[in-house]
Copies of this chain bind each other. A is one copy, B any other.
Amino acid sequence: MTTIAVDAMGGDIGLDVTVPAAAAFLRQHPETRLILTGDEARLDAALSAHADVRPRITLVHAAQVVEMDESPQNALKNKKQSSMRLAIEQVKSGAAQAAVSAGNTGALMATARFVLKTLPGIDRPAIAKFLPAANGHLTLVLDLGANTDCTPEQLFQFAVMGSELFGALHPERGGARVGLLNIGTEAIKGTEAVRETFALLQNSRLNFIGNIEGNEIFGGAVDVVVADGFVGNIVLKTIEGAVKFIGGEIKAEFNRSPLTKLGGIAALPALKGFKQRLDPRRFNGAIFLGLRGIVVKSHGGTDATGFAYALEEALHEAKADSLNKIQAGIARRLNETAATEAAA
């Protein structure tokens, strides 16, 4: 039995999204329970429509809500009874194996870091996400915005965490191929921090395949792409924008004339399939990595379908025992590095 804590008030819409998503998720996964944090009376009322799964839901009343534009400092200091904070505390206490929130990213990261603390050997948590690539491949990219400036050591830690997470979630792949996002394949390319990271990665026992360029994110030849949070966030948003733009261009072409409109009707099954393939809701669920607990961030503006995918992501992580594997992996890699340095 896996229990996931859900910040039921988080996100642009709140419980009109989180409650139907929670109910659908429980129907899909009979072996799970949920703890919903938020306004107990409102949650109880909203749950009356989901009597079949109600016995597997526990409510934890939260008198406060972290606003979507609230500063992390303010949330930490003045929102100790927020639905976000209480959801994370369920993980801290062991009542839940993971927490999911669609609340504001900065506040969620600050709260998660404060309540759960970072893993031994990790300076700063990172945000990671699986992105679709060729042939159904999924590529894990991190950091997506938690850390604007990163030292080579921190980037190396991201590589270790990403590699262990990928291995835990996709054991069938026999280990992760790690790439460093850069502007060319040669070791001399990139910023100073990236060049030093290249050296650290090359001297490690990670399966480091070298520098990769932006286009290779989609090629399927790399499993974990490492970047600082500034570059990673810009890349993520650029991809989101490109997908939306290209979708719009396709639509415009099919609307161009009666002939192309007819063609569009005939092409509907394929176009629908294509839309589903790249539906951003299917890739909802950013993973906070490096904390002593599993935290998944849902997109703030997603709907119940999207939020349910974030719950799936959290369940997948919890069931794969990813946290222990990451922790063991960090300890092992740090020992290897120490051994290499001692031998040198």
Query: A-side interface residues toward B, CB under 8 Å?
Result: 132-134, 145, 148-149, 181-183, 189-192, 194, 213-219, 227, 229-231, 233-246, 248-250, 253-254, 256-257, 259-260, 262-271, 273-274, 277-278
Contacts and interface: CB of A to CB of B under 8 A. Distances in A.
30 contacts: A132-B245, A134-B245, A145-B183, A148-B183, A183-B229, A183-B234, A213-B233, A214-B234, A214-B235, A214-B239, A217-B238, A218-B241, A219-B241, A230-B231, A231-B234, A234-B234, A235-B238, A243-B246, A249-B277, A250-B274, A253-B271, A253-B273, A253-B277, A254-B270, A257-B269, A262-B266, A263-B266, A263-B270, A267-B267, A267-B271
A244 B256 contact: no
Contact of A269 (B190, B191, B216, B263): B263
Nearest to A262: B266
Contacts of A190: 148, 230
Nearest to A239: B242
A191 B191 CA distance: 13
A161 to B, nearest CB: 20
Counting chain B CB atoms within 10 Å of each CB, the highest count among A240, A248, A273 belongs to A273
A266 B269 contact: no
B241 A238 contact: no
Contacts of A133: 245
Contacts of A245: 132-134, 218
A145 to B, nearest CB: 6
Contacts of A182: 234
Among A149, A227, A260, A270, residue most surrounded by chain B Cβ atoms (within 10 Å): A270
A7 B57 CA distance: 70
Given A235-B235, A274-B250, A244 B215 contact: yes
B237 A213 contact: yes
Contact of A270 (B236, B253, B273): B253
Contacts of A191: 148-149, 230
